Amino acid sequence: MMLAGLGVGALALAEGLKPRKRLILLKGQTLEEALPVAFGEWESQTASGLVTPEQAGRLAKTLYSEIVQRTYLDQASGAEVMLLVAYGDTQSDLLQLHRPESCYPAVGFTIELSEPLDVALGGRASLPARRVIATTEDRRENIIYWSRLGERLPRDGEQQRADRLANAMEGYVPDGILVRCSALGDSAGAFAILERFVPDLLRAASGGARPALVGTKLSNELAGLRPT
């Protein structure tokens, strides 16, 4: 009887902790609509040559409800940035954001560097992200990416798992997004371009779309900055 009582209690606790509330930050529009086609000197071109989640396996295709791929060209300098944004309206134990450290090796790249990076956005605002260098024999791709899981911005896989558990304990089934910006060639020059591109992109995104990209708190901080 004691064992039966403990079993019933465990079931009741599990049921009580089961996430029931949806947390959706992409509201009233699609990613395609949320991301600016042109801003400042940047103008989007037809995307080609991007490493995509579909290339990494069939399971990855189930992780996202929308993927946007663009290549932006700086009309003044000729610099190019490849952008991939993958959005999932449900991020559960089975549906996890697919990080470049897993995606790129799956299609033949070697990860030469992966380290945390705080991208300065202006004022005191900074974006917790990662800097990654992925290489093959004939390609060197320099990447800055970040992910959002509900209102949290996990910087690595371990933090992502912890954040997913925290969301579940709070009763939320959140949406999630992964934003990847990359440039080819010399790493020092490429990362200088990317650290300029990311703040420009976020400032150009509409106020309604920005929480979907970086969460509500950081979106509000960006809204308080003067335009540059």
Give the Å distances, CA to CA, from 217 to 19, 35, 86: 23, 19, 21
Q: Which residues contact 72 (CB under 8 A, 6 or more apart)?
A: 42, 43, 44, 45, 80, 81, 83, 197
- Asked if residue 83 lies in contact with residue 38, where contact means CB atoms within 8 angstroms, the answer is no
pLDDT averaged over every residue in the chain: 82
Judge whether residue 20 has pLDDT over 70. Answer: no
**When comparing pLDDT for 223 and 113, which is higher?**
113
| Separation of CA 15 from chain center | 30
Q: Domain coordinates of the chain in residue numbers?
A: 21-223
- Asked if residue 216 lies in contact with residue 27, where contact means CB atoms within 8 angstroms, the answer is no
Tell the burial category of 40 from Cβ atoms under 10 Å away from its Cβ (0-12, 13-18, 19+).
middle
Q: Which pLDDT tens digit goes with each residue over 152-191?
A: 999 988 888 888 788 778 888 888 899 999 999 999 999 9
pTM greater than 0.85 (yes/no): no
Give the Å distances, CA to CA, from 64 to 35, 56, 169, 195, 217: 17, 13, 23, 26, 24
